[in-house]
Amino acid sequence: MPAADREVVLELDSLVRHFPVYGSGVVRRQIGTVKAVDGVSMTIHRGETIGLVGESGCGKSTLARLVLALDQPTSGTVRISGVDPFTLSRKALRALRRRVQIVLQDPYTSLNPRMTVGDLVGEPFEIHPAATPPGGAAKAVRDLLDVVGLDPDHANRYPHQFSGGQRQRIGIARAIALRPELVVLDEPVSALDMSVQAQVINLLKDLQDEFQLSYLLIAHDLAVVRHVSDQVNVMYLGKIVERGESEEIHDRATHPYTQALLSAVAEPDPRESARRQRIILEGEVPSPIDPPSGCSFRTRCWKSAAVCASDVPALSVRPGSPHPCACHFASPRS
């Protein structure tokens, strides 16, 4: 069954999160606004992996917090399996949280060093006793450790007794304990050694097949995103600037920012890098407090024209782009 026909797990509609910025004077007047997330819409179906790519400060993590209902949007809606978490009572919200979990980037700091692995993986069942499987929490923990490729007999060990890759498996076991529908993967492999990254990527793929999980994969490594995602979203200063199937984005990106991002990735294969023409962007991501008018990428863009300063380009299918792209001059690289 194609992903698009399956049930919708997450729906974001024109999601906006602005943070006020205050001056340093005695009267702390608001002097600006950081538009961390500025009108993002997105749909994730069951069993689908949606990649979200962007540089630091583009709003990826704020978006993740909104999806996890840890932060309230300024406007727009989040719907988790059709339910808006911000309209719920505290009790109902707590029940809804079972459906969305997160795997954090750094398995060294995200696990409590004073808790045993068994306690860490079993903690979700203490918070949601109703979700404990029939055999009891202890058995569920052993099963979970087995599922993520750890020895169930190690349940009484502490995190420091495990390697980085094993710790990330513990984090993954915690995230899937309550059988969520959606898991936010926030840079799940970037803190791991190269030789271990592939193991964790394979595990995530296996778990997705086994439990029909949907993933929102936030990462900066385009090769990883391409490998596991069905669809890729490229984010720049709070907005999605390009969206499409992962092959489409990698082979026929139409937004200048995506093209630059792809060409900036260092290529290990000398045959491949000899073939490539690199785009080196000027400058850095502008401050989100005072983003450029019109298209926010125009200050670094080689295609920039008068229209870019006046009109904000919408994320839509255009003559030069068969998939949605927010550029007035969208076209694939020649």
Question: Under the rule (CB under 8 A), what is the footprint of other proteins?
Answer: 55-56, 163-166, 193-199, 201-202, 205, 220, 222-224, 226-228, 246-247, 250, 260-261, 263-271, 273, 278, 280-281, 284-285
Shorter beta-carbon distance to other proteins: residue 132 or 166: 166
Shorter beta-carbon distance to other proteins: residue 75 or 163: 163
Which own/partner pairs from 55-58 qualify as long-range (CB within 8 Å, at least 24 positions apart)? 55/220, 55/236, 55/261, 55/285, 56/285, 57/237, 57/285, 57/288, 58/235, 58/236, 58/237, 58/238, 58/285
Q: How far apart, in whole angstroms, are the C-alpha atoms of residue 254 and residue 243?
A: 10
Shorter beta-carbon distance to other proteins: residue 80 or 200: 200
Give the shortest CB-217-to-other proteins separation in angstroms. Answer: 12
Give the shortest CB-201-to-other proteins separation in angstroms. Answer: 6
Side chain identity at residue 71, one-letter code: D
Angle at 160 between CA 101 and CA 158, to 5 degrees: 75
Shorter beta-carbon distance to other proteins: residue 129 or 268: 268
Q: How far apart, in whole angstroms, are the C-alpha atoms of residue 267 and residue 274?
A: 10
Give the shortest CB-147-to-other proteins separation in angstroms. Answer: 17
Burial 33-48 (b: 16+ CB within 10 A, else e): bbbbbbbbebbbbbbb
Give the shortest CB-265-to-other proteins separation in angstroms. Answer: 6
Give the shortest CB-264-to-other proteins separation in angstroms. Answer: 4
Which among 61, 72, 39 is positioned nearest to 296, based on CA atoms? 39
Helices assigned H by DSSP within the chain? 60-67, 90-97, 117-127, 137-147, 164-176, 194-211, 222-228, 246-252, 256-264, 270-275, 306-310
Give the shortest CB-61-to-other proteins separation in angstroms. Answer: 14
Shorter beta-carbon distance to other proteins: residue 132 or 168: 168
Shorter beta-carbon distance to other proteins: residue 5 or 269: 269
Shorter beta-carbon distance to other proteins: residue 226 or 243: 226
Give the shortest CB-327-to-other proteins separation in angstroms. Answer: 16
